[in-house]
């Protein structure tokens, strides 16, 4: 029984081939423009850079998905928007209404977010980070309360989605289009 269990960890397939250079270039361009746009707006609004109220760490992982793997299920607009918004709501709610230590709250926020994203069919891995930031973030993040869902999360997600729609559809390759589906 143990041998069978451990054999599952050996991996049976080979690593996939590297994607072509042109796909890497489109991914780089989209990620640069998306993150730069959010950062520039953050700077333009004179928000405190230390707290990163507009540029949330989970957006880095989102950039990898929506610009680097735009055809993946996790990258579709439904998952992108729904995953972040649901996770932000859960993270804020867990922090505000469950009276436990930060370690337990962190675990609740991420695990409850995963459950909610599964049930709503909006699984977006960076959503877990969005929920976690709502719990472990600074006092400035906590003071935002549910406004955190609107800004920085909602606004940032919409900016990244708009950039993904533009950049991922500039290519003349008919296989590179975004999105595969909306709902």
Per-residue pLDDT band at 154 (split at 50, 70, 90): very high
Could you tell me the pLDDT band of residue 127, with boundaries at 50, 70 and 90? very high
Q: Is the pLDDT assigned to residue 126 strictly greater than 90?
A: yes
Q: For the chain, how many structural domains are there in total? A: 1
Classify residue 1: in a domain, yes or no. Answer: no
- The encoded tokens of residue 34 equal 């998306």
The predicted model gives 89-94 an average pLDDT of 98
Q: Is residue 141 part of a domain?
A: yes
Classify residue 53: in a domain, yes or no: yes
Does 8 map to a domain?
no
Residues of the chain with pLDDT > 70: what percent? Answer: 94
**13 part of a folded domain:** no
Q: Domain containing 72: what range?
A: 21-167
Stated pTM of the model: 0.88
**Residue 89 falls inside a structural domain:** yes
pLDDT at position 53, please? 47
């Amino acid at each position: 029984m143990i041998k069978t269990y451990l054999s599952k960890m050996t991996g049976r397939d080979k690593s996939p081939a590297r994607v072509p250079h042109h796909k890497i270039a489109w991914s780089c361009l989209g990620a640069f423009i998306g993150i730069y746009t959010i950062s520039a707006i953050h700077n333009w609004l004179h928000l405190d850079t230390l707290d990163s109220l507009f540029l949330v760490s989970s957006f880095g992982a989102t950039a990898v998905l929506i610009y680097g793997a735009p055809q993946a299920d996790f990258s579709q607009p439904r998952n992108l928007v729904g995953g972040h918004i649901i996770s932000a709501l859960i993270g804020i709610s867990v922090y505000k209404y469950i009276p436990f230590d930060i370690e337990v709250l962190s675990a609740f926020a991420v695990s409850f977010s995963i459950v909610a994203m599964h049930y709503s069919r909006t699984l977006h891995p960076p959503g877990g980070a969005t929920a976690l930031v709502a719990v472990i973030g600074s006092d400035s993040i906590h003071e935002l309360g549910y406004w955190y869902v609107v800004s920085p999360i909602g606004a940032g997600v919409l900016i990244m989605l708009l950039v993904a729609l533009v950049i991922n559809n500039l290519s003349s390759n008919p296989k590179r289009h975004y999105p595969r589906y909306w709902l």
